[in-house]
A = this chain, B = another copy of it.
Amino acid sequence: MSKEQMEREQVPRISIAAFERICREQAPFFQLYGFLVDEITYGAARVRMPEDPMHIRPGGTLSGPSQMALADFALYAAVLGAIGEVPLAVTTNLSTNFLNRPRLGELRAESRILKLGKRLAVGEVHIFSDTQEGEDLLVAHVTGTYSIPPNK
């Protein structure tokens, strides 16, 4: 969707609390990763993965599968931010480009919907780590597609 459209419709269709409840009920595996939600707007979200031994890869970097799970979580939040509590939205495609080795520490992900159709939502996610100097380091870029059930 265009930036203009998103700005016009800034009211998110779901609260952080409602999103967290849906995840607990319908996608409890996300809890294992320890993800946190910072913000959900209409068609966009900011989420985080706190540092935890389970994500660490020897040599001082972080697990690729944890990054993919984080991206899926971030997109799910952006989709529900645009369509509200629709229980059967499911990922149909997730494509990840791993760009830079993350440094140990927290990962941040920013997701946004590029196109919201009646049946499909397509979005992208940027995942950031901190550089030693405290700047954002883009560690992965992800695109994903969600299928939206007919009777939303």
Chain A residues with CB under 8 Å of chain B are 1-2, 4, 25-30, 32-33, 54-59, 63-66, 68-69, 72, 90-101, 114-115, 119-120, 122, 124, 135-138, 141, 143, 145, 147
Contacts and interface: CB of A to CB of B under 8 A. Distances in A.
Number of copies: 4
Contact of A143 (B59, B100, B143): B143
A98 to B, nearest CB: 5
5 closest residue pairs by CB, A with B: A65-B69, A99-B115, A95-B95, A29-B63, A68-B68
Contact of A115 (B2, B65, B124, B138): B138
Contact of A97 (B32, B59, B122, B137): B122
